[in-house]
């Protein structure tokens, strides 16, 4: 029979973002709330349980930077926003960004050989041992060092974000990596607000919501278009003309996981019809559409049913082949496929006449050529399976070939020894297609909806690699992430102290739980232990956006 120890269950602000146990001081909160962006927020809009001052106190921190310090880098997966209290921020050009890409101060933490050896032989006597009173560095608390002086192009005016404005909102709102590198111009002080705090402020204050969303759309357009190969050779003036005419459209639900599981009980054709239509096959196509975020399903009518022929992800073009084929005859711009939103999709829509006037004349015949529309696989059954089950969302999906697997359990044992005796996946089918089983292991999704709603930021993406991780010092056991995971790959477990006693909440007398999941063995230099332990090449972590690696593995004898 288990023994028990009573303790207080962690709450949302068990650990403040500032690192101080009590959060920001009252003086710092006052200072934050007089900034133009926050000064007009009405405190009465907030509940007693979640007051305005407490959000700032615990979900924000004040950070100072010296001239040319880097605040965040393009490609990083951190997600706080920056409200500029003093000074200004510069945005690196893509060329300068490449030059500054060396990250000596951002090496990902891996275990040395002694730690690896100890990990094999050290195993707690009891499962899921925790200490709720310890607070270690967050997985994204990476030491900030000075970088090389930034060489600015004298012929190009740098993009500057002034005092009082907000920066970094694209990564915060869209669950995307950083789209640009931000640096300090002179001495800078910012209020760094984690996304949970920004979410609560935007939910209650419409003016702030509208301001941030306007910034998100306008800056997102500039960043997205300037990075696409089709737009690389445009002058800044021409690019701006295109941006001025480009529309930002959203289809589907940002919280798509809420009704996803209900769709699995429907027939395949009903699932397809439940997805929002972006454009129907045969409809007039008025413009070029670019997928900014999310996934699209391409279908064609076959024998009276919509059949999936491919799927599209970020930066895919919709309507390009039709525009080229029309050759200026807009009356022939007819969509050749139906395009539907899988979950949710952000689109950039450029009107046809703008494409013809500003974009097509700048392209070489090679760039102007039609896209070769070759489906990612000839196995239409596999294609339907990947899309219907949203497996395409995974970047490191655990696939087990049941014809090769001998059920030796070496993968589970390797996972267990790497995580203090606690395996972080279950070798059972989440879903299965033919001989391929998708195991119950975190897929480290392109769109990790498990992050939505986490009140503390305990579940987040690793700043460098993008792996989805859980910080046990921040997890309060609310279960939001587990409920949000569409694939049931997050488990809630009862936790124990080092003596093996189950921890019970002093108020409810119920076991205190925390969320657990696969962390992709990110501290292991050679990658996931489960994959390395399989002697039969039966287990593979797969990114289904590009099936080349999967097909190569399948064909390997």
Three-state SS sequence of 388-414? HCCHHHECCEEEEECCCCCCCCHHHHH
Q: Helix, strand, coil proportions of the chain in percent (round to 5)?
A: 30, 25, 45
CATH 3.30.70.20 placement within the chain: 389-555
Q: Is the separation of the CB atoms in 309 and 337 below 8 Å? A: yes
- The span from the CA of 391 to the CA of 438, in Å, is 9
Give the Cα separation of 306 and 274 in Å (integer).
Answer: 12
Burial 54-77 (b: 16+ CB within 10 A, else e): bbbbbbbbebebeebbbbbbbbbb
Fold of 389-555: Alpha-Beta Plaits (3.30.70)
The rounded distance, in Å, linking the Cα atoms of 471 and 477 is 11
Task: State residue 70 phi and psi, 5-degree precision.
Answer: -90, 125
3-state secondary structure of 217: helix
Closest CA to 464 of 75, 71, 70: 75
pLDDT at 137: 43
- Contact (Cβ atoms closer than 8 angstroms) between residue 517 and residue 491: yes
Which residues does residue 29 pair with via DSSP β-bridges, in sequence order? none
pLDDT at 9: 72
Q: CA-CA distances (angstroms) from residue 125 to 6, 54, 171, 497?
A: 20, 40, 41, 11
Specify the pLDDT at position 266: 86
- Tokens 């993968």 correspond to 411
Q: pTM for the complete prediction?
A: 0.82
- Number of CB atoms found within 10 A of residue 470's CB: 21
| Token pair listed for 246 | 């480009």
Predicted confidence pLDDT, tens digits, the chain (557 residues): 567 776 767 677 667 787 776 789 999 999 999 999 999 999 999 999 899 999 999 999 999 999 989 999 888 888 899 999 999 999 987 777 777 665 544 445 555 555 554 555 555 566 777 766 554 444 444 445 454 555 655 556 678 999 999 999 988 887 788 988 899 999 999 999 998 899 999 999 999 999 998 888 888 777 778 778 888 888 888 988 998 899 889 899 878 888 888 888 888 888 899 999 999 999 999 899 999 889 999 999 988 889 999 999 999 999 999 998 887 776 678 999 999 999 989 899 999 999 999 998 888 777 767 554 455 566 788 989 999 999 999 999 999 999 999 999 999 999 998 888 888 888 777 789 999 999 999 999 999 999 988 888 889 998 888 899 999 888 989 999 999 999 999 999 998 888 888 889 888 889 999 999 999 998 787 889 999 999 999 999 999 888 888 999 998 76
Residues in a beta bridge with 312: 296
pLDDT at 140 (0 to 100): 45
Q: Are 251 and 347 in contact (CB under 8 A)?
A: yes
Distance CA 1, CA 550 (A): 47
Nearest in space to 9 (alpha carbons), one of 555, 550, 511? 511
3, 8, 7, 9: which is closest to 513 by C-alpha?
9
Q: Using an 8 Å Cβ cutoff, are 423 and 534 in contact?
A: no
CATH superfamily of 16-96+150-204: Jelly Rolls (2.60.120.10)
Q: Show Cβ contacts of residue 173 under 8 Å, excluding neighbours closer than 6 positions.
A: 195, 212, 213, 216
Answer for the pair 338, 283: CB distance below 8 angstroms, yes or no.
no
CATH 2.60.120.10 in the chain: give the residue spans. Answer: 16-96+150-204, 241-252+265-377
Q: How buried is 95 (Cβ within 10 angstroms: 0-12 exposed, 13-18 middle, 19+ buried)?
A: exposed
Name the phi and psi angles at 74, rounded to 5.
Answer: -55, 130
Residue among 398, 404, 435, 415 nearest 538 (CA): 404
In angstroms, rounded to a whole number, what is the distance separating the alpha carbons of residues 360 and 410? Answer: 56
Q: What pLDDT does residue 136 have?
A: 44
Tell whether domain 241-252+265-377 is in CATH 2.60.120.10: yes
Contact (Cβ atoms closer than 8 angstroms) between residue 173 and residue 447? no
């Amino acid at each position: 029979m288990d023994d028990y120890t009573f303790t207080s269950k962690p709450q949302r602000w068990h650990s403040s973002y500032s690192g101080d146990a009590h959060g920001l001081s009252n003086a710092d909160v006052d200072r934050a709330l007089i900034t133009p962006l926050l000064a007009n927020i009405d405190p009465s809009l907030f509940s007693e349980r979640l007051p305005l001052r407490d959000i700032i106190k615990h979900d924000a921190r004040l950070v100072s930077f010296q001239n040319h310090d880097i605040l965040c880098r393009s490609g990083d997966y951190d997600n706080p926003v920056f409200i500029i209290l003093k000074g200004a921020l510069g945005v690196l050009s893509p060329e300068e960004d490449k030059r500054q890409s060396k990250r000596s101060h951002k090496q990902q933490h891996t275990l040395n050989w002694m730690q690896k050896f100890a990990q094999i032989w050290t195993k707690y006597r009891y499962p899921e041992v925790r200490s709720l009173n310890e607070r270690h560095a967050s997985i994204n608390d990476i030491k900030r060092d000075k970088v090389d002086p930034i060489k600015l192009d004298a012929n190009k005016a740098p993009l500057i974000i002034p005092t009082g404005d907000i920066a970094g909102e694209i990564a915060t709102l869209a669950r995307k990596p950083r789209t640009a590198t931000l640096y300090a111009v002179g001495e800078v002080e910012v209020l760094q607000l984690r996304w949970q705090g920004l979410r609560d402020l935007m939910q209650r204050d419409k003016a702030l919501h509208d301001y941030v969303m306007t910034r998100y759309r306008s800056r997102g357009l500039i960043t997205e278009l300037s990075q696409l190969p089709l737009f690389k050779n445009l002058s800044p003036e021409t690019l701006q003309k295109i941006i001025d005419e480009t529309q930002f459209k959203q289809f589907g639900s940002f919280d798509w996981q809420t009704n996803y599981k209900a769709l699995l009980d429907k027939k395949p054709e009903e699932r397809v019809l439940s997805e929002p239509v972006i454009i129907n096959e045969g409809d007039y196509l008025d413009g070029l559409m670019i997928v900014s975020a999310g996934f699209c399903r391409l279908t064609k009518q076959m024998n009276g049913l919509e059949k999936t022929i491919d799927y599209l992800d970020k930066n895919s073009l919709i309507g390009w082949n039709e525009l080229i084929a029309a050759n200026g005859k807009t009356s022939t711009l007819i969509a050749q496929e139906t395009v539907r939103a899988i979950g949710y999709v952000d689109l950039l829509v450029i009107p046809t006449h703008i494409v013809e006037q500003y974009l097509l004349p700048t392209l070489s015949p090679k760039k102007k050529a039609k896209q070769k529309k070759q489906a990612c696989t000839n196995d239409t059954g596999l294609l339907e399976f990947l899309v219907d089950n949203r497996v395409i969302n995974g970047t490191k999906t655990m696939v087990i070939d049941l014809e090769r697997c001998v059920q030796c359990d070496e993968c589970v044992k390797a996972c267990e020894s790497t995580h203090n005796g606690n395996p972080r996946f279950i070798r059972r089918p989440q879903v299965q297609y033919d001989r391929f089983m998708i195991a119950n292991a975190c897929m480290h999704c392109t769109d990790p909806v498990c992050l939505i709603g986490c009140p503390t930021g305990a579940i987040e993406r690793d700043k460098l690699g993008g792996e989805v991780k859980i910080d046990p010092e921040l997890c309060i056991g609310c279960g939001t992430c587990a409920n949000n995971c569409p694939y049931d790959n997050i488990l809630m477990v009862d936790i124990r102290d080092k003596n093996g006693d189950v921890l019970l909440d002093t108020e409810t007398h119920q076991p205190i739980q925390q969320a657990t999941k696969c962390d992709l063995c990110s501290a292991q230099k050679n990658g996931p232990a489960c994959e390395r332990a399989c002697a039969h090449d039966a287990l593979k972590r797969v990114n289904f956006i590009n099936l080349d690696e999967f097909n190569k593995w399948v064909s390997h004898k």
